[in-house]
Structure 1
Amino acid sequence: MAAHLLLVDDDPGIRLALQAYLEDEGFGVTTARNAIEGLELAEKHQPDLVITDIMMPQVDGYRFLQKLRALPRFRYTPVVFLTAKGQTADRIQGYRHGCDAYMPKPGDPEELVAIVRNLLDRSRQVQSEIVSLVSELNHRPAPVAIEAIDLDLTPREQEVLLLVYAGLMNKEIAGRLERSTRNVEKYVSRLLAKTGTSSRTELVRFALEHGLVSPGSAAG
C-alpha cells in the first residue's frame, strides 16, 4: 500500500507542482492551503508523513507542527519543513519544534523524494522492531507476567526513555526536548546504567518487560 502524504503550503503553484511530482513517484497526496486546513485533513486522512511550509498566514509552520505534535496520533509522524527560510538559525528553530528534515525552497523534487523515502523507511523499521519485540513478549512458550519495577526515574529520564522507545536518536531527542545532544547522551547513559543494559534495543526490551513503557505509548 502506497504511503500517504499531507502537503501544506499556501502557494498554489508549489502545491500543485509537488503534488503532481510526488504522485508520479507513487505516493498518495492530500494538500492543504494553510495550517488550519492541514490539521483538519491530518486528523481525517491520518498521513504517514507531513510536508509543510513555514511562512503561512494566520498560523505559521512552527505553530502548526506544535499543534500537530500535541495530537497523540502524530507525536512521532515524520515531518519535513519545506521553506524559503534557509539560515542556520531558522533550521535550528525548525528542529527544536520537532521537524525531522528541512529543505529550503526552491529545492530539487528528487531530493525531497529521497528525504521522504528515507524518513518513511526509518519510521517503518522502528515500528517493525517494536512490533517484533511486543510479539515476542506475547508469544513466549509459557505466560510470563510483566514484572513491574520501580527504578525511581526522574520525569526527564522517563521522557527520554519514551523517545528512545519511539525510535528517536539522541540528536532528534535533543531537538524535541530543546536540550544539547551531550545532555541527552547523559540521560541515555543513566538509563542504561539503571537498567543494567548495554544498548538501546536492550533498553527497550527491558522497559517493555518491566512495565516502564506500554506498547501503545509510541503509537503514531
Structure 2
Amino acid sequence: MAARILVVEDDESLGLLLQYNLEAEGYAVEIATRAEDADPMLRDCRPDLVLLDWMLPGFSGIEFCRRLRARPETKALPIIIVTARGEENDRVRGLSTGADDYIVKPFSVPELLVRVRSLLRRANPALIDSIIRAADIQLDREQCRVTRGKKQIALGPTEYRLLEFFMQNPGRVFSREQILDGVWGREAYVDERTVDVHVGRLRKAINFGAKSDPIRTVRGFGYSFSEKQFLRHDGDQY
C-alpha cells in the first residue's frame, strides 16, 4: 500500500516533475493546481502528506496550511511547503503557520525525496517500514506474508491490501467509500457492498483459532481496525 501524497502546485511542469519522481519512489500521487481544488480532494480521502506551494492562485498555500491546521481531521497531517521565498522571515512564517518542513526553489530532487521519506517515517512509521505489527498480527511487505501469533495466514491479494490499509491506520474509522478509495483506488468502479464481502473474508482468515477480532464494525458507517480493543467475533462495537 503506497503512501498517498497530494501535490498542490500551479506550475504544471514542476508538478509533473514532482509526480514523476515521487511515483518512481513508489508513492501514489495526486496533483491540484489550486488550494480550492485540493480542499475537496483532502475531504474525500486524506493523503499521508501534502507538498504545498506558497504562491498559489486564489488563496495562498500559507492560508491553506493555516486552515488545515485548524481542522481536527487534518491537524496532524504532514505538510511540506515548497516555495521560491527563501528569506529567513519567510521560513519562520511558514513553519509558524504549521508546516512541518520548508523547501526553497530551486531544490534538489534527491533532497526533497529524503525529506518526504523522513517526515512520513516520523508521522506514520507503518507507511515506510517493511514490517507492520499490530497486537499479535504481523505483516511483512517484502515477503508478502502475514502471521498471527505463530500461525501464518493465507490471504488473497485484495484481503492482503485491505489488512495493510487497516494496519497503517489503526483506530481510525473509515466509511466503505473511503476504504474503496484506499484499497481499490479512485478509478475503480466497484460496488460498496464489495467492501463487506472482502472484510468478511479477511475476518475469517485472521480470526481462525483466535480469541479476538481486531476489525470493528461501526454500524451505519463502516469499519475500524483496533489493535488494543478486544472484540467479539461478530466484530460489532460494544
Alignment of 1:49-198 (within 5 A): 49-125=49-125
Q: Runs of at least 4 residues of structure 1 off by over 6 A?
A: none
1:35-80 Cα distance to aligned partner (Å, 9 max, x none)? 1111111112210000000011211011010111222111011100
8 Å contact from structure 2 (residues 33, 56) kept in 1 = no
2:25 is equivalent to residue 35 of structure 1: no
Alignment of 1:1-20 (within 5 A): 1-20=1-20
Unaligned runs of 5+ in 2: 128-132, 135-238
1:125-156 Cα distance to aligned partner (Å, 9 max, x none)? 499xxx98xxxxxxxxxxxxxxxxxxxxxxxx
Percent identity of paired positions between Structure 1 and Structure 2 = 38
Read off the aligned partner of 2:64 and give its amino acid letter.
Answer: F
1:155-185 Cα distance to aligned partner (Å, 9 max, x none)? xxxxxxxxxxxxxxxxxxxxxxxxxxxxxxx
Matches of 1:64 and 1:54 in 2, distance apart?
Answer: 9
Matches of 1:124 and 1:11 in 2, distance apart?
Answer: 29
Read off the aligned partner of 1:121 and give its amino acid letter.
Answer: R
In the other structure, the counterpart of 2:26 is 26
Unaligned runs of 5+ in 1: 133-220
Pair 116,38 (structure 1): closer, same or farther in 2 beyond 3 Å: same
| Structure with greater proportional strand content | 2
Matches of 2:18 and 2:70 in 1, distance apart?
Answer: 27
Matches of 1:45 and 1:86 in 2, distance apart?
Answer: 31
TM-score where L is the length of structure 2: 0.52
8 Å contact from structure 1 (residues 39, 68) kept in 2 = no
1:73-113 Cα distance to aligned partner (Å, 9 max, x none)? 11011100000000100000001100000000111111111
Matches of 2:126 and 2:76 in 1, distance apart?
Answer: 11
Pair 96,21 (structure 1): closer, same or farther in 2 beyond 3 Å: same
Matches of 2:57 and 2:30 in 1, distance apart?
Answer: 19
The alignment partner of 1:23 has SS state of helix
The alignment partner of 1:76 has SS state of coil
| Structure with greater proportional helix content | 1
* Number of residue pairs aligned between Structure 1 and Structure 2: 131
Matches of 1:38 and 1:26 in 2, distance apart?
Answer: 21
Matches of 1:13 and 1:71 in 2, distance apart?
Answer: 31
8 Å contact from structure 1 (residues 82, 104) kept in 2 = yes
Matches of 2:92 and 2:34 in 1, distance apart?
Answer: 23
Matches of 1:73 and 1:116 in 2, distance apart?
Answer: 21
Read off the aligned partner of 2:116 and give its amino acid letter.
Answer: V
